[in-house]
Structure 1
Amino acid sequence: MVEDRTYLISRVFSSSRLSESKWPYLYPEAEDSSASMLQNGKRALNDDDDVELRPSKSLKLIGDEQEQEEEEQSDSNNGDGDSLINDIIGRDNSLSCLIRCSRSDYGSIASLNRSFRSLVKSGDIYKLRRQNQIVEHWVYFSCQLLEWVAFNPVERRWMNLPKMPSGVTFMCADKESLAVGTDLLVLGKDDYSSHVICRYSLLTNSWSFGMRMNSPRCLFGSASLGEIAIFAGGCDSLRKISDSAEMYNSELQTWTTLPKMNKPRKMCSGVFMDGKFYVIGGIGGNDSKVLTCGEEFDLETKKWTEIPEMSPPRSREMSASAEAPPLVAVVNNELYAADHADMEVRKYDKETKKWFTLGRLPERADSVNGWGLAFRACGERLIVIGGPKSSGGGFIELNSWIPTNDRSPPLWTLLGRKHSSNFVYNCAVMGC
């Protein structure tokens, strides 16, 4: 049975690698070797090749002046750059079609004319998608210090992001991540006291250093909803546990200080559920006591409300600082948790305010006290990304399950498998 399963997995990923090479706006970086060139000037792609995908020059959204002149000349040769919108089916109908296209098609769409290119490059197309409640979720994760990979769970396609800019300290420091709007934020330290934010923009396919928080921190709980995100608790540069919270707006790239929580906490988790933000679990107080309560923040009243026993129960006693923050995720406004010790999935009953067990995690959901295991909501799916317990080789696997309204146990589907010698360092889901 094991051999059969391995064979099936290898067949699946042979086809997925083929789909990578056919991605419209990406191409493999080929080696300059005459022995490996075909008659058409392209090298055949072997199954064992490590492929780095990068934006095709002709379809880059951000190009140099020469490329821009070539694009404008191409538009003039094809007639009015707006003709596909105005003359055939009209602008409104065109936009209605475009916002329903997959995000993976926008590179090709941007190459058609100036109007389409402006829609994608400016981010207006993602604003229209959000207004019409059209969201496509991709998983972003890092298993190398400065390298990030994106995965489309619907089409099962991979994409390597550009390498992060970094100093030595930031590269080696612990980092935390969150996707909000069309931004991927990676938070860490560039020295032993200064907190920095490295921001990846989907619109430009590039990294830059973002705006700092009003009160920089680490070990916080965070979650995003559309173009906003909330960061709560954590530790400041003096390692003091914080009760403060801030809201980030990805479109304005601004930070707003929120009212303080009822309790200071660090190593906590955050989720949005029923339009409200929740911070769950963590460590609080001078004695580093484990907190079992959560707190609800109402975005309309701007008030925090404490909720007893909202944190998932711990199945094994261990040092509070040794265990990862609660592994929680929300799908269809229902709260789920992964118990890394007992390898179980649990669900929170909002009426009784109790946790109950649904079933098992995937077999390869390995971790060290919860570290190295990603448990995320991805649209209507729960995603589990697990890797090897020690460095030196192996795979990470992406497993998916679509929860139902009853108490049926999870039925996991393997979406992707990738070579990796490391844990999952960071993971975020971008929905736009």
Structure 2
Amino acid sequence: MLDGRSCVFPRLFSSTCPAESNWSFMKFLPDFDIKNGKRPLEIDGEDGFRSNKLTKILDQRAEGVRTSLEQQSWQDKDSLDSPVIPPMDQDGSNIPERRKHCEPFKDFRRVEMAGAGSEQPSDEREHHHAGDSSDSVDSQSHNQQQAGDSSDSSDQKSDEQQQQHGSDSLNSDNQQDDEQQQQQAGDSSASGSLFPRMNRDSSIACLSRCSRSDYGSLASLNRGFWNLIRSGELYTWRRLHGIIEHWIYFSCELLEWEAYDPIRQRWMHLPRMASNECFMCSDKESLAVGTDLLVFGKEYTSHVIYRYSLLTNSWTSGMRMNAPRCLFGSASLGEVAILAGGCDSDGRILSSAELYNSETQTWEVLPSMNKPRKMCSGVFMDGKFYVIGGTGGPESKPLTCGEEYNLQTRTWTEIPNMSPGRSAGGAETPPTAEAPPLVAVVNDELYAADYADMEVKKYDKDRKQWSVIGRLPERAVSVNGWGLAFRACGNRLIVIGGPRTHGEGFIELNAWVPSEGPPDWNLLARKRSGNFVYNCAVMGC
């Protein structure tokens, strides 16, 4: 199994990911004007804002976010099993049970962040500031009385009225500012300022530096954080600023999915898919795009797509392509993905292709390939989409060529000898019994796994040739390529599989960084599980 496929057969992550514990986030923050809340401001240097005061404030707020998250209890099993957001009503009105563990942060907007000064509630601080002029006048009047300054009662009464008027005016201004903020951003608890004395962009910039593993707890703090994460706005901000974490999703049970966070080294179990026996036993493909995990299969009379949303931690179905298909090649780039080839419900091999946009959840028909093919693989490389290998023609013969799709010109170009080919050990196996080519791209370089000879190959784009560069992990075995996952995960290649053992088995995740030299596989994680990988996808967001 590769490229997210499963077969009912005989039967990290980015080094650029800054979410581990790197809080030197200032250089990623957008420039803004504190006074007007607008951009841009000139930057003094490469990493600093012109205002040292602003830098200090943001550093304190970011440190507060980190400290607050570290104080939360991760012993709650629900927080471990829920990859993103605990269950909550659609309007976000019900704060989940886990929030009781975060009682000190019940209303994050009303708590001064750790390291930023006193923990005095914000409304008390506002009242204190609103009464500053009144307090100063009272103090002055008291000193004057001690010095023997006499005034008639009418003057004192007039002064008190002015003081009261000044205090009321300031309180009224604060109230008007709050109402204006609510009108501009809706419910202030959901869309307004997330942290005290920090505008929304700066708040999101701080939160974007947190690991995705923390977002479930953040969503439990109050409705503002819940709406920010549930809406996908935070993930959109991360993508626009190049902040990406890669999580690995795979299935070793027919309707069960596991997620692995290589940064926190945490396992998470996704909700079980609700489907019928036909879908469970059919061939399936999977694809991660944006914050969606798509699983394609067949039910009794038609193709079906199940969509897992990272934002809601739930499965839905009902999505339809323009031309439903299975056994296709696919790959994603950011929030878009391309699916090409495959076969329809009647078994006809297709040359058509479609583009999926996870932001709008829409499908767009693309120009057709030069050759129809199924059992192929897809990758993005150098900003272009490639379909590699597969079978086609009336006798379903292996195809050695690949095809390149240029998203700018919307044209397909055939590339000879792009398939990594079949090894001598698999020459006697029928092409239709083999898994699609096990290929992956890291740093715009194409690699392939030869499951028969347990070798790793690299594609030379100039010479259009494959060469052997090393070995696969010895314990990662397969059945004609099925049951083994070979994927890109940021700047690493990963191999997911397990040894064939009697009784209870386990699955292993091995990783190698191609830029560091010849293949040298390191064990990322091991988990007791079935050792046949039905589907696998890597989500970067």
* TM-score, normalised relative to structure 1: 0.83
Q: Does residue 54 of structure 1 match 2:81?
A: yes
- Whose RCO is larger (CA < 8 A, sep 6+)? 2
CA 1:23–1:210 in structure 2 vs 1: closer, same or farther (change >3 Å)?
A: farther
Match of 1:112 in 2: 221
Q: Return the structure number with greater helix share.
A: 2
Match of 1:288 in 2: 396
> Could you tell me how far 1:53 is from its partner in structure 2?
5.0
Match of 1:378 in 2: 489
Q: Does residue 257 of structure 1 match 2:365?
A: yes
Match of 1:419 in 2: 528
Match of 1:46 in 2: none
Between the aligned partners of 1:251 and 1:56, the Cα distance in structure 2 is 20
Match of 1:27 in 2: 76
Q: Does residue 185 of structure 1 match 2:294?
A: yes
* TM-score, normalised relative to structure 2: 0.67
Q: Is the contact made by 1:248 and 1:255 (CA closer than 8 Å) also made in structure 2?
A: yes
Match of 2:406 in 1: 298
Aligned partner of residue 101 in structure 1, secondary structure: coil
Match of 1:43 in 2: none
Between the aligned partners of 2:537 and 2:72, the Cα distance in structure 1 is 23
Considering only CA atoms, is the larger Rg found in Structure 1 or Structure 2? 2
The number of aligned residues is 384
Match of 2:466 in 1: 355
CA 1:297–1:94 in structure 2 vs 1: closer, same or farther (change >3 Å)?
A: same
Q: Is the contact made by 1:143 and 1:425 (CA closer than 8 Å) also made in structure 2?
A: yes
Between the aligned partners of 1:181 and 1:77, the Cα distance in structure 2 is 29
- Worse-superposed segment, 385-394 or 155-164: 385-394
CA 1:311–1:106 in structure 2 vs 1: closer, same or farther (change >3 Å)?
A: same
Match of 1:202 in 2: 310
In structure 2, stretches of 5+ residues that fail to align are 1-70, 111-122, 124-187
Of 272, 276, 281, which residue of structure 2 is paired with 1:163? 272
Aligned partner of residue 476 in structure 2, secondary structure: coil
CA offsets per residue over residues 275-311 of structure 1, 9 Å max, x none? 1000000001001110010000000100000000011
Amino acid at match of 1:263: K
Q: Is the contact made by 1:27 and 1:55 (CA closer than 8 Å) also made in structure 2?
A: no
CA 1:262–1:23 in structure 2 vs 1: closer, same or farther (change >3 Å)?
A: farther
Match of 2:262 in 1: 153
Between the aligned partners of 1:117 and 1:421, the Cα distance in structure 2 is 35
Amino acid at match of 1:274: D
Between the aligned partners of 2:436 and 2:381, the Cα distance in structure 1 is 18
Q: C-alpha root-mean-square deviation of aligned residues, in Å? A: 2.6
> Could you tell me how far 1:195 is from its partner in structure 2?
0.2
Aligned partner of residue 217 in structure 1, secondary structure: coil
In structure 1, stretches of 5+ residues that fail to align are 1-21, 30-51
Q: 1:15-414 maps to which residues of 2 (within 5 A)?
A: 27-28=76-77, 53-55=80-82, 60=86, 62-63=88-89, 68=94, 74-75=106-107, 78=110, 81=189, 85=194, 87-191=196-300, 193-316=301-424, 317=427, 318-389=429-500, 392-404=503-515, 408-414=517-523
Amino acid at match of 1:125: L
Q: Return the structure number with greater strand share.
A: 1
CA offsets per residue over residues 309-351 of structure 1, 9 Å max, x none? 0110211312100110000000111101000001011111111
Between the aligned partners of 2:383 and 2:352, the Cα distance in structure 1 is 20
CA 1:53–1:411 in structure 2 vs 1: closer, same or farther (change >3 Å)?
A: same
Aligned partner of residue 251 in structure 1, secondary structure: coil
> Could you tell me how far 1:24 is from its partner in structure 2?
5.7
Q: Is the contact made by 1:387 and 1:420 (CA closer than 8 Å) also made in structure 2?
A: no
Amino acid at match of 1:54: D
